[in-house]
Amino acid sequence: MSRIDFAPTIHHFTLCVQDLEKSTRFYVDTFGFEATFRRKAAGEAFGKLMGVAEFDVELVMLRLGDWCLELVEHHGAPPHERIETPTNTLGYTHFAFYVTDVSAAAALVEANGGAIDRETWTSTSVNGENRDYLFTRDPDGNRIELIKGSILG
């Protein structure tokens, strides 16, 4: 079987959030996202697509360059509580931002309602470059890695 025969483009990743306004402010104020689209969605068709019987949500689409982040707050069936998983668990583990100053970026994360996993701070050499890494969290506990160094990959 061959791969998809058109040029696939990643459009967005979605995060379920408890407070749409708080999370929107966090990503806009911390990382510079721009809110580009907002709407409410409800009903059986979207419920079937999303696997949620009581589908009633409000969402906002945030854009940063070519990358979009969709934040969704459920008003029907409440979100399930987060089950903490280590990064060697299959599936989503985190996303990352390159920053010029990890300490300053982490302070901004915390000031805007996120948290810092201080024990994860790592400074190491990769390909001869000294790099800094730190995991932080958004207001809902989603892991966000901060990286200081040249962009790899």
pLDDT in tens, 74-114: 887 777 777 777 777 778 889 899 999 999 999 999 999 99
pLDDT of residue 5: 64
Q: pTM score, two decimals?
A: 0.85
Based on the fold, state whether residues 70 and 105 are members of the same structural domain.
Answer: no
Do 55 and 23 lie in one domain? The reply is yes
- Are both 55 and 16 inside the same structural domain? yes
pLDDT-based confidence at 6, cuts 50/70/90? low
pLDDT of residue 105: 96
Q: Which of 41, 74, 107 is the last residue of a domain?
A: 74
Is 62 domain-assigned?
yes
pLDDT for 45 equals 66
| Domain identity same for 139 and 106 | yes
Sequence-distant (6+) residues with CB within 8 A of 128 are: none
Q: Are residue 111 and residue 58 in the same domain, yes or no?
A: no
Handedness of CA 25, 133, 106, 86 (dihedral sign): positive
Q: Which residues pair with 148 in a beta bridge?
A: 132
Q: What is the mean pLDDT of residues 60-77?
A: 90
66 & 105 share domain: no
Q: Is 32 helix (H, G, I), strand (E, B) or coil?
A: coil
Q: What CATH number corresponds to the domain at position 118?
A: 3.10.180.10
Helix (H) and strand (E) counts in the chain = 3, 8
User: Which two tokens mark 68?
Assistant: 């979009």
Same domain for 54 and 108: no
Q: For residues 35 and 28, is the Cβ–Cβ distance under 8 A?
A: yes
Distance CA 25, CA 33 (A): 9
Taking the C-alpha atoms of residue 5 and residue 67, their distance in angstroms, rounded to an integer, is 22
Q: Are residues 26 and 66 in the same domain?
A: yes
In this structure, the number of other CB atoms found within 10 A of the CB of residue 99 comes to 20
Predicted confidence (pLDDT) at residue 1 exceeds the cutoff of 60 = no
Amino acid at residue number 38: R
pLDDT band at residue 135, thresholds of 50, 70 and 90? very high
Q: How many domains does the chain have?
A: 2
Quote the domain boundaries for residue 139: 95-148
